[in-house]
Structure 1
Amino acid sequence: MSKFSAVPLAQPIEVFELTRSYNEDNFINKVNLGVGAYRDEHCEPWVLPVVRQAEQALANDDSLNKEYLPCLGIDAFSKAATLQLLGNDCQALRENRAFGIQSLSGTGCLRVGAEFLHSQLGCSVFYFSNPTWGNHKLIFKNAGFTDAREYRYWSQSSRRLDFKGLLEDLNNAPENSVIILHAVAHNPTGCDPTEEQWMEIANVMEARKLFCFFDCAYQGFASGDLDKDAWAVRYFVSRGFEMVVAQSFAKNFGLYNERIGNLTVVVKDPAFIPHIKSQFTLVIRGMYSNPPSHGARIIAYILNNPDLYEQWKLAVKTMADRIILMRKELRGALERFQAPGSWDHITTQIGMFSYTGLNEAQSEYMVKKHHIYMLKSGRISMAGLTLKNIEYVASAIVDSLTNAN
């Protein structure tokens, strides 16, 4: 008998299975609202022109080679990425209390950061929002955390943030728990705390001695304003929190398959940093040894070139503005079709994703009858909407609300 005969079949990952089904569907009006990647008004992937320009310049640079990078990655990239997150006026940067580590996109940052917190700080309890990005729990469990807990976040009845429940759950968290916080454009709900609510969250976390682990996947991509989208992280840093932040550049640079991210670490005393870096080096050495160079070189080239940086900011705003427009148009179409209930949450939410409020039966009805591919949770990607398909999607939502239980 084969040693592999006892290996069970794992459940398929919903979002990838949804994409596979969409690709196999021959229906002419099919719509993919499941994929978590930007699409232009023709539903096509968009490589940013400034990225193309940077790639051409790098390809023509004969001084570059294919040697291994250091375990912690390209320093020019990490410094620029950390500055982009924390801002020019950051006191922690001025005092040399913050640094970055190149990693494998946001997922790699989360895994490296979680393994470090577990192995070096003895952390075993982590909290994630209910709901959250589907990979958070798996990443932290695989990094050695043994106690996964949820804090309330989304209210299905009000289609708003359950802020009272959130604070209550954080107040009941044991000291030294690691709290995963979405920095902006919460995935999957698109519902963020206000600045005043972030202040209250910080008060509770400080009082309860909880550790902040921000997941920042959408800086600039949410509102079109890089500084506005970094507000929560910068506020916590200004309050003196020690923290780690997983930065992904998949969305705001369109570098999905380059797997490029930066793990920003903020501490109270710069004297700790050499020890911390040495332990991160060992974590990475035992995981993937060192990161790839291409995505990091692209970002470092753009962020360190003032003209290209301005071009990139315009491209980010272009993507954010299209998403905001799609929210406005979808809400308008639903209201014109007299969809039951209120739909203002479509435009008060922010970022790529929206929690529509459709239940599992209604969401499955959308897929099976209308060939509109969306998650069972009711989450849709606004990037899959266009001016050509919005009315079809809105009419399908009305049909689903009316005829699916």
Structure 2
Amino acid sequence: MTHSSILSDLPVLPLAESFALTEAYNLDTFPKKVNLGQGVYRDEECQPWILPSVRSAEEFLHRQHLNHEYLPIPGAAEFTKEARNLLFSPQLAQNENITSVQTVAGTGANHLAALFCARYLRPKHVFISDPTWDNHHLIWETAGPDIKRKLYPYYDPLTRSLNFDGMIAELENSAEENDVVILHACAHNPTGIDPTHTQWEKIADIVAKKRLFVVFDSAYQGFASGDLDADAWAIRYFYSRFFEGASLPISATPSGMIVCQSFSKNFGLYGERIGALHLVTPPSVSPRGAYTHLVRLIRAEISCPSLFGERCVHIILTDPELRSKWEEDVKTMASRIQRVRMSLKLELENIGAQGNWDHIERQIGMFSYTGLSKTQVRRLKDVHHVYMLENGRMSLSGLNGKNVAYVARAIKDVVDRD
């Protein structure tokens, strides 16, 4: 006798691609295999790197014999203050129209932002770059199922550069007042292509004209360029233009802005899941009510955030010696990624790989959007045991001096076959 259940009708869903790719890589026994799929930093030996500043913070905290009590629902106030200072600058962060809560890394911040917008902003559309980090779609699908997800052009495959005109045209023609637009603050994932300052100003023009609600995703501050201030430029520009000082006419300003901040990449605290969400309101609008609703959502979902990683970040940002050491650590990671970019490009050129590879060096951050097709990526994995996402996104941290020539030859093989 069999028992039927509604659960038996649920289809088996595939594992998220990046995690499935890592699982396949781990099972591969080929000695020269290369993992260019997972978005985590690796050192020159392709091993996980614990930042020296983080190691020092861990040792300091261990000596303190601290307890493991619950944090408040919105997180540790001293941590969110320093997170806000880092992102907006200490001067801007003092303004009372920025309110902050601790989150479960950048993913938790994005999910909280989507929940908040879906329940209280109620936009008709959310605009997401094409392409984007795949979790943006899943987050908005689950948190705001009634909100229509629309794509705005971002990548031009012919020039392997930003499709800026297409982006602006789509927002101009399709966006409606109160719609949400997700913007990557720096080191766009997956393309590694960021707008120029002039282009950011024009994006702000369309945000103001259409009265859109901006959600910035900031996962790579410092990691992208090695310069913490440069990587926060777009966020600070939007804040200073729309939300600082005297109120602008309603017709010339968005109703608010959210910044989702992650400490996974720039502190190497991937598994500790440390992040923050910053809600910005116009100067004339008190954020108190919105803050209490954020707290309510956190209480329902996680009750309160995690403790240890928050303590690590806080002590590093507030201790001058550790802060200086951390800033050097961030530069170390950014510099290594920039070096392997140049090495791969030069190697491809030296061996005569078909096509132009300048875009690899022009892009920024952990990823390169290679321009390889799904067929080419599949052959890289099946024949050469080089793993990357099907859309051609390569995580450059998996490259080093020992394997860059092998990867370049593998790429040459797949592109020369077409």
TM-score using structure 1 length: 0.97
**Once superposed, what is the RMSD of the aligned Cα atoms?**
1.1
Match in the other structure for 1:155 = 156
> Deviation string for 1:30-77 (max 9, x for gaps)?
000001000000000001111111111112223x32221111000111
User: Hey, what does 1:131 align to over in structure 2?
Assistant: 131
User: Structure 1: how far apart are the matches of 2:152 and 2:295?
Assistant: 32
- 2:193 is the alignment partner of 1:191: yes
What's the offset of the Cα at 1:272?
A: 1.7
**Aligned equivalent of 2:183:** 181
Q: CA deviation at 1:2?
A: 4.2
Cα drift, residue 330 of structure 1: 0.5
Matched-pair contact (CA < 8 Å) for 1:127–1:148: yes
Residue 266 of structure 1 pairs with residue 267 of structure 2 = no
* TM-fit CA distance, 1:114: 1.2
The within-5 A match list for 1:190-269 is 190-241=192-243, 242-269=256-283
User: Aligned pair 1:390/2:392, yes or no?
Assistant: no
Alignment partner, residue 105 of structure 2: 105
Q: Match for 1:58: what amino acid?
A: L
Separation in 2 of the partners of 1:371 and 1:108? 33
Is contact 1:79–1:99 with CA below 8 Å preserved after alignment? no
Q: Distance in 2 between matches of 1:20 and 1:153?
A: 30
Map 1:14-93 onto structure 2 (within 5 A).
14-62=17-65, 64-90=66-92, 93=93
Deviations 1:125-157, CA, capped at 9 Å, x for gaps:
201100000000110121124200000000111
- Take 1:101 and 1:123, find their aligned partners in 2: how far apart are those partners? 22
Q: Is the 8 A contact 2:152 2:170 kept in 1?
A: yes
TM-score (norm 2): 0.94
**Letter of the structure 2 residue corresponding to residue 175 of structure 1:** E
Q: Which amino acid aligns with 1:322?
A: R
CA contact (8 A) 1:80 1:303 kept: yes
Partner of 1:328 in structure 2? 342
3-state SS of paired residue (2:391): coil
Q: Secondary structure at the match of 1:272?
A: coil
Residue 20 of structure 2 aligns to a residue in which SS? helix
Q: List aligned pairs for 1:334-345, cutoff 5 A.
A: 334-345=348-359
| Paired residue secondary structure (2:234) | helix
1:12-31 Cα shifts (integer Å, max 9, x gaps): 21111111111111111100
What secondary structure does 2:134 align onto? coil
| Amino acid paired to 1:307 | E
8 Å contact kept, 1:96–1:270: no
State the SS of the aligned residue for 2:91: coil
Contact conserved, 1:118 with 1:124, CA < 8 A, in 2? no
> What is the alpha-carbon distance in structure 1 between the residues aligned to residue 50 and residue 216 of structure 2?
27
| 8 Å contact kept, 2:99–2:291 | no
- Where structure 2 has 5 or more consecutive residues not aligned to the other structure, the ranges are 244-255
Change (3 A) 1:211 1:196: same
Residues 150 and 60 (structure 1 numbering): CA distance in 2 closer, same or farther, change over 3 Å? same
In 2: Cα distance, 1:136 partner to 1:107 partner: 9
Secondary structure at the aligned position of 1:286 is classed as helix
Secondary structure (helix, strand or coil) at the match of 2:23 reads helix
CA distance in 1, matches of 2:127, 2:399: 32
Q: Which runs of 5+ in 1 are unaligned?
A: none
Alpha-carbon distance, 1:112 to partner: 0.7
Offset of 1:95 from its aligned partner? Answer: 2.9
| Contact in 1 for aligned 2:121/2:178 (Cα 8 Å) | no
In the TM superposition, residue 88 of structure 1 has moved relative to its aligned partner by: 2.8
**Structure 1 residue ranges (4+ consecutive) displaced by more than 2 angstroms after TM superposition:** none
Residue 328 of structure 2 aligns with which residue? 314
Q: Which deviates more, 194-203 or 51-60?
A: 51-60
* Pairwise CA distance, 1:124: 4.0
The share of aligned pairs that are identical, in percent, is 47
- Aligned to 1:289, which of 300, 303, 306? 303
Q: Contact (CA 8 Å) 2:100, 2:276: kept in 1 or not? A: yes
Residues of 1 paired with 2:144 and 2:204: CA distance? Answer: 26
SS in 1 for 2:139: helix
Give the deviation of 1:6 after TM superposition.
Answer: 1.1
Shift of 1:89: 3.4
CA distance in 2, matches of 1:16, 1:122: 32
The correspondence for 1:351, drawn from 365, 369, 378, is 365
Count of residues paired in the alignment? 401
Instruction: Name the SS for the 2:100 alignment partner.
Output: strand
1:12 corresponds to which letter in structure 2? Answer: L
Give the whole-Å Cα distance in 2 for the aligned partners of 1:263 and 1:202.
21
Mapped to 1, the partners of 2:275 and 2:413 lie a distance apart of 41
CA gap 1:120/1:330 in 2 versus in 1, 3 angstroms: same
Indicate the SS of the match to 1:347.
helix
2:413 to 395, 399, 402: 399
Deviations 1:219-244 (A, max 9, x none): 00010000000011111001115311
